[in-house]
Chains A and B, each alone.
Chain A
Amino acid sequence: AQSVTQLGSHVSVSEGALVLLRCNYSSSVPPYLFWYVQYPNQGLQLLLKYTSAATLVKGINGFEAEFKKSETSFHLTKPSAHMRDAAEYFCAVSATGGGNKLTFGTGTQLKVEL
């Protein structure tokens, strides 16, 4: 079975500051890991994914995440936050990597302040 834990349901940063959204996973088999973003009144959109290749994954809009097996983590970062980054972010895990049956975390709402 797989699960993810997102620490912090709400994160607030200043525009231009570092964004760090935390995700820890649990999986009985090598995991595939994903970050999705949900903007208001829009569907979930894939930010980036880890599928057992490079441990540092770069995604859209300047986001990246690093897979750390020893820490069972897949934290999402962005060096400089922008107002348009305000959204809800979900970490998800899949055992097969085939995209089916993703298990999502409870989400982190990112607020960006001037």
Chain B
Amino acid sequence: GAGVSQTPSNKVTEKGKYVELRCDPISGHTALYWYRQSLGQGPEFLIYFQGTGAADDSGLPNDRFFAVRPEGSVSTLKIQRTERGDSAVYLCASSWGGQENTGELFFGEGSRLTVL
């Protein structure tokens, strides 16, 4: 499809395990964002990439969270030593960069992470 694709759609893991969540943005979008949405809350900013580099990672809650975008397209959000509090829906969004940016983020359907 032409939209933002996130995999897996659901992930159940045990406390202490390592998790990777993948995001495939819309082709041609240079900006990519990760958000986290807990139950009853709005999306919370985690990190933003412009191309391959993290332009703003101020929303990452601690050093267990890390994200990469090695080729400027697909991104992976990595969570080490998962905790029950990490349970949430992780949203990825992409947008045009630079002068083509209209201010609109295009969101994927999210990856629901449950830590038991």
Interface residues of A, Cβ cutoff 8 Å to B = 6, 9, 32, 34, 36, 41-46, 49, 51, 90, 92, 94, 97-107
Give 27 pairs: A residue, B residue, CB < 8 Å, sorted on A.
Answer: A9-B40, A36-B107, A41-B109, A43-B3, A43-B108, A44-B105, A45-B107, A46-B104, A46-B105, A49-B103, A49-B104, A90-B42, A94-B103, A97-B103, A98-B103, A99-B31, A99-B96, A99-B101, A99-B103, A99-B104, A100-B31, A100-B48, A100-B50, A100-B55, A101-B45, A101-B48, A104-B43
Tell me whether A43 and B109 are in contact (CB under 8 A).
yes
A45 / chain B contacts, CB cutoff of 8 Å: 107
Please give the distance in Å from A44's CB to the nearest CB on chain B: 4
Interface residues of B, Cβ cutoff 8 Å to A = 3-4, 31, 33, 35, 40-45, 48, 50, 55-56, 59, 91, 93, 95-96, 101-110
Q: In the complex, A97 Cα to B93 Cα: how many Å?
A: 16
Q: In the complex, A53 Cα to B13 Cα: how many Å?
A: 47
Q: From B102, which residue of chain A is reached at the shortest CB distance? A: A99
Q: From A44, which residue of chain B is reached at the shortest CB distance? A: B107
Tell me whether B44 and A101 are in contact (CB under 8 A).
no
Tell me whether B103 and A32 are in contact (CB under 8 A).
yes
Please give the distance in Å from B101's CB to the nearest CB on chain A: 5
Please give the distance in Å from A60's CB to the nearest CB on chain B: 12
Tell me whether B56 and A100 are in contact (CB under 8 A).
yes
B31 / chain A contacts, CB cutoff of 8 Å: 99-100
Q: In the complex, A110 Cα to B108 Cα: how many Å?
A: 22
Please give the distance in Å from A51's CB to the nearest CB on chain B: 6
Tell me whether A43 and B107 are in contact (CB under 8 A).
yes
Q: From A100, which residue of chain B is reached at the shortest CB distance? A: B48
B110 / chain A contacts, CB cutoff of 8 Å: 43
Tell me whether A105 and B42 are in contact (CB under 8 A).
yes
Q: From B103, which residue of chain A is reached at the shortest CB distance? A: A99
Q: In the complex, A46 Cα to B105 Cα: how many Å?
A: 8
Please give the distance in Å from B34's CB to the nearest CB on chain A: 11
A106 / chain B contacts, CB cutoff of 8 Å: 40-42
